[in-house]
Structure 1
């Protein structure tokens, strides 16, 4: 029965204020997680983007304290890198000296030297250095400092510290409940039955069902019957029941968000997509903490949480004896003050610090070798044949080998630019009812560009496409229906068996046959693009561009490419895309920033705009004079097979036709050489293979292939400068290459644009790969072989894990024991005078914080060719 509110006006105002305060706290707490988009639109995310005002070292210590998550490379990774020659040990010594200069310790220098040298070998301490009896005897007499108090202690969910009578951790039961409800609510049409009352929001839909959940006891269900309708109130009540003080709420919420960062990240992403769900993260926390309060209520008030002090002291004493060369007799004869001094040193020079020094040495070794390679090749291209064609590629690291092999085959100039080409667009392919953002996920589209065809052709094409979709949907519904699912194997068994056999034993032929069959059936007609601005009721953004916008986007793109004069007869705008079969992570192999969007559509849009007479006339008035014989075309670099597919070739001038024919003639050699180089790095590539192209197609078509390509693994540097700086360098597909000429950027606006956009996106990619390598159980997604696609959103390990936020094991590991990706932080190299770099750092505080706090590394090469680390 509904009651009448007896709250006074003042009381209501107080509750409203508290609710607003709580929402602000939830928003502040969300900094510890990253938004997680559905796997179908997978985009690289920096898992620590909200924490960059703290140093990398501080965040590493905090995560190890609160979640037992290590984000420094493991000792085995470091030893492997050292054995492969990727770490110069001289830099480890330099890093150690820098660290010691920043600290003051009142113990003998020979002890520090001996301890640090031995500890830096990264070998585990023996378990029997100090016996339990000896430790207990010392601890009863020790009255020195409580060293654990020096640590960065963050609260964890109370359920973490409680075990029920069955020996089950309450936090595990809590996680399982939360996972179950998240799967139900977020399901993207994968389940046959949807969650009742889903349209009312997560909290109210859950509230309607939770009191009937048979997984809970009768008493627990009774406790959950009288919950308020507002999630903020429910959250506030649960925090009060748990005894969380106002000053502790944010820290406590952070602990809960970090318990399941994947599901929490998906809630955060969903809340950012629609105003209707902007409260979703608050609803998630309300459900989670209400359930926690229900589970732990019989155990409250909680007894004192066991201290880590004794275990830590034992470890410190053992390290001083084993690495410091002390004996128990020497130790027992010291005064407490002297023991404190030794313990403080051992405490400060902990495992994180030791691996931090190795990481810095690894990064310094890479930077040193890169600088030597680049500076040694600066003056090798004085006499060049006249450029026949200019090709603009995405900065993606997979473009670097392709560009290098292409340049060797003729007088071609290649240019690096972000692969959405500065076009803030969403795209809609012919016959589709859906648009797809085709730009980095950090931005929102401002225009929709659609493929268009004649009404008669479009109608027939849509009918054929709808037939295919209807067949697919019918098959899916029959699988999910109780009765029809019993009949389906009898109907589809023979066809599916044949499909399985051909897919397994002749994957390329089967894939080609299926593709040809689909293409012949659909018969997609020739299309044009909706480039002219018009109002369209079916989209939330404008369709097409105004004349001013066309000119503006072309101008900006040409400036970013440094292509404002000396145009070749043919300019090729090259997007990139990937192809793989039976791969949940296929979107991750497309553009690393654009949520699974390939770049061919954007390339076609830009090339078409560049050919428009009105655009050229307007640019000519500004001093950007594109010759009449220069024609822009568009292509897509297929990264899995290293081929160039033409997506837009208008009528060519005579000179442009010569250039086009030359590219076509050298493309087989470029593809062969690039495939040979790229495939040789894959662990399951047969080195004696005579035809790399055939093998590349097999990798792309085989539905059992867990590693169709490496993607952006081993990315390590973002180089901003003229191509001459890197043209003679074999960068091994590890560098993002963005064109930049500081002579044409007097006010630094272009450089600021590159840092804010492409460099930030490259950092996101770098840290996603880094996190998935060093902490695969927390920030990665484990082995593909044991993954379960769930709710149409992402993958889990088994049927009740976190929604896994990162890359699979096979995307970063060479084998079970050896990493392929080198987990080092991105090195940004800018070719510009020092004063330009100083101006950039002074104007961009966010970028300065990233550099100062160790989230990226920064170096520059000035006009004299002098390298500087910032």
Structure 2
């Protein structure tokens, strides 16, 4: 949760059409990928998807057995299995994360087996005295367990992978955590897959239950066996039934997406009545993250003066870095989860001892006070002293910034190393040149150029990192912008850049800044003219008034104070809406959208294809930012359509597990994934409309199609309906869609639209 990045929860199934994945997931565990109430705007509440009629789905053995159990007065098998595995995983993965040992699938399984064999409480809780004997005879090796269990339970071996998938979905949170560890290991160039061990644990429970009920005998086992064998025989029919049942829902889904795309086409094909002049000298250039929240602030900032130009670029600003505060053993990535850091950044001077101690204290207390189920145990341990501390923080507390972010504040110089070797001016210039070209910022520099990262400001919020920059590994972009500003202000680097054809005027100064998305304040890390500070303050006030409408506080007498107060309120469950509402990704010159109000729903990336020799920048955009925006879009999509399975539920009930691994909803159950309900629902209606991402590229069709065919992942996203890919032509007179290697006309500017054709 300290490096939270939104992801598509079905990423490993992207080679299949989204509709087929949706029907498969519905058949496996009742997942709903459609929310008709949300699409229709009826605001029927978060239970709409769960109560919608759905055919019967696959039931694992534990769930099958619950049909013969009085779960109103007895603990259900399914709930207890999930609870037991989850409690074990919480302890195991916390110790693994702390570095107490190095695990593999066998170690995971064997550790669980030892614990379970020694546990006498399971028999008491379940009221089954002979159950523990079944764990004693399970194989000690996880591979043997998997083989034995499938031999005993998989009556149709061809469907065994589906059964295994259904079992892992019972503990989807911990399966996702194991998959995350595997992803991180692969980024580092090695293999670490704990999922087979986790599958063995879940299968072991199934085998133990089956043998236990078989040993007890009687009508219950006979009925269980009959239902179990029938389910295996009818699995193909179940899949087909779910696919057929979703036909109407997908038609409604595509109709809602088409309606949004029609609105976007009307906007994108409308030229400004009074286009801005390129002859006017610039006062300010400000590069922002492509994050949808930046669209609101950029529009407000540009409205302050026509001599202000804003740019959109990925929030890690092209720096493939990890940040290691000098004098500490701490290190964290500052780039998208798709990538592994290639460089390490640290301060030229170490932080003071007080700041380093603050970091150590923060780490110690967060691990103790947040360990699940911790909110209650912390007060129980600390007594009245802990209660007093909570009261003081509630009524008199100050901003609870992450101490890691405090270490580099005030720093103007950073050291950058690659494999332990300091980068020189030539290497920095090579890095900076690529970044500036990707930003479309290679000439006509303003006297002040702001590099604006972003972060949030909330309290008592385990999901705070989800409001920070996904392009920075769930951190703020503060380190990235300060490092890049330092590089670009370096005289030696500028001299090397001039040899690349990028001449930065001596009077131009780059300044790192941070956009607080919760309060819409921009803090600059260096001196800027008073006039520019005024522009930033006025833009923040304008953006806050726009956001106040969605927050439901537009009628407050002092909107500015109300919004800032929300950001520091421990009890506020909706300090901001994050990226709720995201629906499109526009890759084009800012001139194509500057005159438009996109409602904070669009990711904006500046791009001029005529300045992109070989279309290398376009390729980078389509394989990195486009994938990241798709991840964000699908996480929000699934957190709305099925918050039960792919959201994290009610954040009021959350308990943090292992200091930062994730949350339980309450004090048990599976580890929750996705967004809290309060991040997508205001208590009366959904604030996020679940639409698949619409991508708009202002580039030649041949280049787009060639890149899509070159990269399998991109091709799969387009052709399997995970996103829509559109092209805007040079004159902004038509839009066409790329789908399965063919271009399909979508919209054309009507003669009544008027206006002038613009650049690119």
Q: TM (normalized to structure 1)?
A: 0.73
Cα 1:218–1:426 shift into 2, 3 Å:
same
Q: Report the alpha carbon displacement of residue 222 of structure 1 after superposing the two structures with TM.
A: 2.6
Alignment of 1:252-291 (within 5 A): 252-274=163-185, 278-291=192-205
How far, CA to CA, are the matches of 1:171 and 1:449 in structure 2?
48
Corresponding position: 1:225 with 2:112: no
Q: Does 1:383 align with 2:277?
A: yes
Residue matched to 2:26: 64
Cα distance per residue 1:679-723 (max 9 Å; x no partner) = 21113x2x3223322111111000000000000000000000000
* Cα distance in 2 between the residues matched to 1:349 and 1:179: 31
User: In the alignment, which residue of structure 2 is the partner of 1:79?
Assistant: 40
Distance 1:352 1:174, change over 3 A: same
Cα distance in structure 2, aligned partners of 1:863 and 1:444? 35
Give 3-state SS (helix, strand or coil) of 2:85's partner. Answer: helix
1:440 maps to what in 2? Answer: 336
Name the counterpart of 1:422.
Answer: 318
Q: In the alignment, what sits opposite 1:326?
A: none
Deviation at residue 246 of structure 1 after TM alignment:
4.8
Which of the numbers 319, 330, 352 marks the counterpart of 2:246? 352
Within the candidate set 677, 691, 703, 2:546 is matched to: 677
User: How do residues 859-870 of structure 1 correspond to structure 2 at under 5 angstroms?
Assistant: 859-865=726-732, 866-870=734-738
Q: Which string of whole-angstrom CA distances, capped at 9 and with x for unpartnered residues, describes residues 227-282 of structure 1? A: 44432222222222324565333222111112221111112223444599824211
DSSP 3-state at the match of 1:393:
strand
Q: Provide closer, same or farther for how the CA distance between residues 379 and 756 of structure 1 changes in structure 2, counting only shifts above 3 A.
A: farther
1:124, 1:601 → 2: CA distance? 46
Measure, in 2, the Cα distance between the counterparts of 1:189 and 1:629. Answer: 52
**TM-score, structure 2 as length reference:** 0.83
Mapped partners of 1:569, 1:487: distance in 2: 57
**1:145-191 CA distance string (max 9 Å, x none):** xxx9xxxx996533333347544554333223222221221236999
Report if aligned partners of 2:138, 2:204 keep a CA contact under 8 Å in 1.
Answer: no
Provide the C-alpha distance between the structure 2 equivalents of 1:378 and 1:753, rounded to a whole number of angstroms. Answer: 30
Structure 1 residues 378 and 746: CA distance shift in structure 2, 3 A = farther
Aligned ranges 1:616-635 → 2 under 5 Å:
616-635=494-513
2:293 maps to 398
Deviation at 1:749, TM superposition (A): 1.3
- Unaligned 5+ segments in structure 1 are 1-38, 84-122, 126-147, 313-343, 504-509, 535-540, 650-656
Residue aligned with 1:598, SS: coil
Task: From the superposition, tell whether residues 179 and 533 of structure 1 become closer, same or farther in structure 2 (CA, over 3 Å).
Answer: closer
- 1:704 matched residue in structure 2: 571
Pick from 718, 732, 739: which aligns with 2:585? 718
Q: Following the alignment from structure 2 to structure 1, what is the Cα–Cα distance between the partners of residues 102 and 319? A: 41
Give distance in 2, aligned partners of 1:165 and 1:278: 40
1:303 is the counterpart of 2:181: no
- Determine the structure 2 residue equivalent to 1:157: 60
Aligned-pair CA distance for 1:580: 0.3
Q: Is the 8 A contact 2:345 2:414 kept in 1?
A: yes
Q: Is the 8 A contact 2:324 2:332 kept in 1?
A: yes
Find out whether 1:50 has 2:17 as its counterpart.
no
- C-alpha distance after superposition, 1:376-401 (max 9, x if no partner): 12564242532112111000000001
- Which residue of the partner structure matches residue 800 of structure 1? 668
Per the alignment, do residues 495 and 781 of structure 1 end up closer, same or farther by CA in structure 2, a change over 3 Å counting? Answer: closer
Q: Kindly provide the CA deviation profile for residues 494-546 of structure 1, in whole angstroms up to 9, marking residues without a partner as x.
A: 5544444x25xxxxxx326x889x99xx9988535442537xxxxxx546535
Aligned counterparts of 1:698 and 1:348: Cα–Cα separation in 2? 47
In the alignment, the residues of structure 2 paired with residue 473 and residue 800 of structure 1 have an alpha-carbon distance, to the nearest angstrom, of 18
Residue 592 of structure 1, CA deviation: 2.9
Among candidates 643, 661, 686, match of residue 776 of structure 1? 643
C-alpha distance 497-542 of structure 1, shift in aligned 2 (>3 A): same
**Separation of aligned partners in 2, 1:751 and 1:287:** 45
- Which of 596, 609, 614 aligns to 2:474? It is 596
Q: Deviations over 1:387-435 (max 9, x none)?
A: 1121110000000010011011121110000000111111123554311
Structure 2 residue aligned with 1:823: 690
1:185 to 69, 92, 107: 92
Q: Deviations over 1:129-156 (max 9, x none)?
A: xxxxxxxxxxxxxxxxxxx9xxxx9965
Which residue of structure 1 aligns with residue 657 of structure 2? 790
Q: Which residue, 394, 412, 415 being the options, matches 2:308? A: 412
Cα separation, partners in 2 of 1:405 and 1:160, compared to 1, 3 Å = same
- Aligned-partner SS, 1:232: helix
**Partner residue, 2:743:** none
Equivalent residue, structure 1, for 2:748:
none
Whether 1:208 aligns to 2:114 is yes
Q: 1:286-365 maps to which residues of 2 (within 5 A)?
A: 286-297=200-211, 298-299=213-214, 302-305=225-228, 350-365=244-259
The structural deviation recorded for 1:836 is 2.7
The 1:155–1:77 alpha-carbon spacing in structure 2 relative to 1, beyond 3 Å, is closer
Does residue 1:832 correspond to 2:699, yes or no?
Answer: yes
Deviations 1:8-56 (A, max 9, x none): xxxxxxxxxxxxxxxxxxxxxxxxxxxxxxx222110101111111111
Q: From the superposition, tell whether residues 219 and 405 of structure 1 become closer, same or farther in structure 2 (CA, over 3 Å).
A: same
1:567 aligns with 2:454: no
SS of equivalent residue, structure 1 residue 680: helix
